[in-house]
Structure 1
């Protein structure tokens, strides 16, 4: 998700104590979400429930949205692994257009499955709505577009536009009722629309 700090591959090494704190905080946050939903998952409540100091929580996440962003980052690891080493067309071995279509459809599915966390991971206080850090989607989409050798196309700008089409705010345009009652149909419709978009913009 654009703006959520995610990375491809192995994470940077952490000190043992920092890694333990991170694992404890994320485990506690998931438990709190399961028990009482997102409204009660605040910085103060997480610090109290985890038994760690408020300073530790603030240093780790920065904001309340950062807690949800970290949960989203963690849940995205499986998708990243499929992209890096899974079977084609999502993984290596397929044509770039087929991989691009498969990635968008997989990401739509992942966003719908994680829609509650994705909504709360949005931080309206950021000066740039999508965030300033390059997302995993941008890295992957840019790589596939460059493989297509699209003459006369500004690949960097097209990457940003395609990434935005798969961003978390996409689901803000879909009603909560629709996502709850007809999520499979919504996923199919968004996936089909992504396929049509990719085929049109990637024509030789």
Structure 2
């Protein structure tokens, strides 16, 4: 009984922290402006609780990103989803890229914050980037005649970088559906399907 209560408290605190961080990142003008103190205050927990649970701000951002990405990971890993490994490559590649773009659109400042904390190692060594790249590369390998699936996966992923998405949406005021259609058309040209998303 005594162990169950701390676990419940920890789960409740984690949910409150994630909800507070989501809200702060969604409303902020710049991801760098969101501090551990801000998140702790908004979640109603002490700063020490955050540092115990996540280590530092980077750890919190990575944990939140992974929690939000979990449904996409699940859809891409199994079942009849167009994201899943059983889907035909010409359908799976654009579906994966559309899912990534929608994820970035729904989590713009969180994605920017994660790319911003990559530091000297850059975003390309991050675990989530390696996961996306591996999925795309594997799907691209199933398209006959496509040269260098590894490089093509990197090039296609570049079109969904958080800083580019932020520029297109925030500066150029590109609408969500327009951006999805543009990415689908670009993907179709690259993989040669000739059937851009409508």
- Per the TM alignment, residue 83 of structure 1 is displaced from its structure 2 partner at its CA by 1.9
The answer for the alignment partner of 2:50 in structure 1 is 57
Which blocks of at least 5 consecutive residues in structure 2 are unaligned?
Answer: 1-5, 194-198
RMSD: 3.4
By relative contact order (CA 8 Å, sep 6+), the higher-ranking structure is 1
- The structure where helix makes up a greater share of residues is 2
Q: How many residues align?
A: 183
The answer for the alignment partner of 2:133 in structure 1 is 138
Distance in 1 (CA, whole Å) between partners of 2:118 and 2:72 is 28
Distance change (3 Å), C-alpha of 1:161 and 1:52: same
Distance change (3 Å), C-alpha of 1:175 and 1:101: closer
1:92-130 Cα shifts (integer Å, max 9, x gaps) = 432223211221122222222322332233325610231
- Per the TM alignment, residue 33 of structure 1 is displaced from its structure 2 partner at its CA by 5.2
Distance in 2 (CA, whole Å) between partners of 1:177 and 1:50 is 31
Q: Does 1:169 align with 2:129?
A: no
Distance in 2 (CA, whole Å) between partners of 1:85 and 1:67 is 28
Give runs of aligned pairs for residues 147-158 of structure 1, distance below 5 A: 147-148=142-143, 153-158=147-152
Asked if structure 2 preserves the Cα contact closer than 8 Å seen for 1:101 and 1:194, the reply is yes
Distance change (3 Å), C-alpha of 1:86 and 1:114: farther
The answer for the alignment partner of 1:30 in structure 2 is 22
Which blocks of at least 5 consecutive residues in structure 1 are unaligned?
Answer: 1-14
Give runs of aligned pairs for residues 1-204 of structure 1, distance below 5 A: 16=7, 19-32=11-24, 37=28, 41-61=34-54, 64=57, 66-123=59-116, 126-135=119-128, 136-148=131-143, 153-179=147-173, 182-199=175-192
Distance change (3 Å), C-alpha of 1:159 and 1:87: same
Q: TM-score, normalised by structure 1?
A: 0.67
- Per the TM alignment, residue 26 of structure 1 is displaced from its structure 2 partner at its CA by 0.8
Distance in 2 (CA, whole Å) between partners of 1:155 and 1:108 is 20
Asked if structure 2 preserves the Cα contact closer than 8 Å seen for 1:142 and 1:155, the reply is yes
Q: TM-score, normalised by structure 2?
A: 0.69
1:51-106 Cα shifts (integer Å, max 9, x gaps) = 43424323544554554444333222222232223544333432223211221122
Asked if structure 2 preserves the Cα contact closer than 8 Å seen for 1:72 and 1:118, the reply is yes
- Per the TM alignment, residue 25 of structure 1 is displaced from its structure 2 partner at its CA by 1.5
1:78 alignment partner, SS class: helix
